[in-house]
Amino acid sequence: MYKQKHPILLASKSPRRQELMKLMDLDFKVVLREVDESYPDGLLPAEIAIFIAEKKAAAFVEERARNIVITADTIVAYRQEILGKPEDETHAAEMLSKLSGTNHQVYTGVTIAHGDIVNSFFDVTEVFFNPLTPEQIAYYISNYHPMDKAGAYGVQDWLGFIAVEKIIGSYTNVMGLPTEKLYKALLAL
């Protein structure tokens, strides 16, 4: 069991990450800052996720003196293409059409920062999708509004229930926070 010695700040507006932290029985407060999520060309998917998580943690240098700050970034990689959050419904439909009947990888980079200590890591999960019809894609987009989700879907909602054939790796990583690795990292801090 993790015994908190310092307050934890979760720098994420993701309701899924907040839910996972609560399910881990962690006492935390949500703090938000706008951070530019751009990254240099040539990075591999895992490097992108870590780069952005570290960029987010850098926005909380003062808070790290007395708190543990946790940041994360999740990306979907499909055949060397990075699928971030969709720009609009058409873009979301394009993404889901690409993922239909294929497999892709979900990478989440996490940074835990306290004082001068910065620990970053990532997890990757392979996700296999059943084929989707255009009607299913349209229904999902209009009813579940996946604009805030990497790859335009949430594994924990309707599309995850009907489309995900199997996963290899951490389920919570696909939700946006690899809780197993986060817990181990907190214990090691």
Specify the pLDDT at position 83: 94
Tokens 């499909």 label which residue?
78
Q: Identify the band that residue 3 occupies on the pLDDT scale cut at 50, 70 and 90.
A: confident
In a domain, residue 151? The reply is yes
Give per-residue pLDDT as tens, 70-95.
999 999 999 989 998 999 999 999 99
Domain that residue 101 falls in: 8-188
Specify the pLDDT at position 30: 96
Give per-residue pLDDT as tens, 161-172.
999 999 999 999
Q: Identify the band that residue 1 occupies on the pLDDT scale cut at 50, 70 and 90.
A: low
Average pLDDT, the chain: 95
**64 DSSP assignment:** G
In a domain, residue 2? The reply is no
Specify the number of domains making up the chain: 1
Q: Are 51 and 109 in contact (CB under 8 A)?
A: yes
Decide if 73 is catalytic.
yes
Give per-residue pLDDT as tens, 98-131.
999 999 999 999 999 999 999 999 999 999 999 9
2: pLDDT strictly greater than 80: no
Cα 180 to Cα 24, 56, 123: the distances in Å are 10, 21, 10
In a domain, residue 3? The reply is no
Tell me the C-alpha distance between 153 and 151, whole Å: 6
pTM of the prediction?
A: 0.93
Amino acid at 1: M
Tell me the C-alpha distance between 48 and 46, whole Å: 5
Q: Are 29 and 9 in contact (CB under 8 A)?
A: yes
Q: Which two tokens stand for residue 178?
A: 């690899």
CATH code, 145: 3.90.950.10
In a domain, residue 102? The reply is yes
Q: Which two tokens stand for residue 159?
A: 């599309």
In a domain, residue 21? The reply is yes
In a domain, residue 158? The reply is yes
In a domain, residue 1? The reply is no
Of 73, 88, 116, 148, which one is the catalytic site residue? 73
